[in-house]
Structure 1
Amino acid sequence: MGEYHHTIDPKGRLIIPAKLRTGLGDRFVATKGMDNCLFLYPMNEWQVLEQKLKALPFTRADARAFVRFFFSGATECEVDKQGRILLPANLREYAKLDKDVVFLGVSSRVEIWSKELWEKYSQEAEASYSEIAEKIVDLDLGI
C-alpha cells in the first residue's frame, strides 16, 4: 500500500522503497502494465498470474496479443545491496521513466509511474472517482 516518490539514475537504477521491498522480496518480476506504467509482482504472485494467462484460449487473437504484450516485456529483477534494481531500457521507455517516478502499492503488485503521467492520470481519475465507485458497488464487491 501507499505512494512513494523516488528518482531513477542515468544508468536506469531505481531504489525500491523499503516498505514495498518487504512484500516484493529480493527477486521479483517487472513487466509492462496498463496505462503506461510498470507492474512489479512478487515471484509467488507472478506464478499465479502466469497460470491464469496460460489458461486463456490461444485460439483467440486478443488473448494471444495480450499474453505476448505481457510476457515480452517481463524481466526478473534482483535487488542489490543498496536496495536498487536496474530497469531495462525497453521498460523505462514504455513507462516514460526519465527521472522522477512514483511507486504505488496496489494490492498484490507494485506499480511504477513517471511522476508526470501519474499526476495526469490521478487528476483525471479523481474527477470521475464517484462514478467509478458506483460501478464497482454494482459489481457487488461489498464496498
Structure 2
Amino acid sequence: MFRGASSIALDAKGRIAIPKRYRPLLCPEDDAQLVVTVDIQSQCLLLYPFQEWLQVERKLATLSDTQPAERAIKRLLLGYASEVEMDRMGRVLLPSPLRQYAALDKQLMLVGQLNKFEIWSDANWQQQIADSHAAVDANSFTDNQRLQEFAL
C-alpha cells in the first residue's frame, strides 16, 4: 500500500527517482515493470505496479465501445498508458507526452494512493491541496456523520 507524499525531482532526461522505501512494493520480485498513464480527473499522472494495472485493464475491458463517455475513458487511460521500467538506481523515465499532459517541470510530488501513485507538478499539487481543503470543509458535507468517521 502506498501512502504519503514525497517531494522528488525530474531530471533533464525526464526521469524520476522513486524513494527507496517504495521500490520493493512497486517492483516485487525484481519485476521492474510499471505502467504510467494520465489521471482523467486531474492534471497529474498515475503510476501503477504492473499487477495493479492488469486489474485496471480488466475493469476497462468491461466498458462499452459504443457509449461515448465510457469510450472516452478507455481512450484516455489506455491511449496514454505506457509501460516503463525502474532501473537499478530506482529511476523511471516518464514519456514526453505524459510529462506535457501533467505540466511536469523540475519539482514534483509523488503521492501515495493505496494501489498507485499520483505524480504532480509542485504547482499543481499546491493548488490541489487548496482545492481539497475547500472540498473537505465540513459545511460542504451533507452527511456530517460520515465526515466524523474520518476525523482524527
Segments of 4+ in structure 1 off by > 3 A? Answer: 130-139
Q: Give 1:130 deviation, angstroms.
A: 3.3
- 2:23 matched residue in structure 1: 21
Tell me if the contact between 2:138 and 2:144 (Cα under 8 Å) persists in the aligned partners: no
Confirm or deny that 1:80 pairs with 2:82.
no
Distance apart, 1:128 and its partner CA: 2.4
Task: Note if 1:30 corresponds to 2:36.
Answer: yes
Q: Is the 8 A contact 2:26 2:49 kept in 1?
A: yes
Aligned to 1:41: 48
TM-score, normalised relative to structure 1: 0.89
Structure 2 unmatched runs, 5+: none
* 1:137 to partner: Cα distance: 7.2
Unaligned runs of 5+ in 1: none
- What is the number of residues matched between the two proteins? 142
8 Å contact from structure 1 (residues 31, 71) kept in 2: yes
Hey, what does 2:78 align to over in structure 1? 71
SS of corresponding position for 2:65 = coil
Q: Deviations over 1:110-134 (max 9, x none)?
A: 1100000000110121122134984
Match of 1:4 in 2: 6
What CA RMSD, in Å, does the superposition of the two structures yield over aligned residues? 2.2
Secondary structure, in 3 states, of the residue corresponding to 2:103? coil
Of 78, 89, 98, which residue of structure 2 is paired with 1:91? 98
Q: Are the equivalent residues in 2 in contact too, given 1:27–1:42 (CA < 8 A)? A: yes
Q: Are the structure 2 counterparts of residues 138 and 50 from structure 1 closer, same or farther at C-alpha, using a change threshold of 3 Å?
A: farther
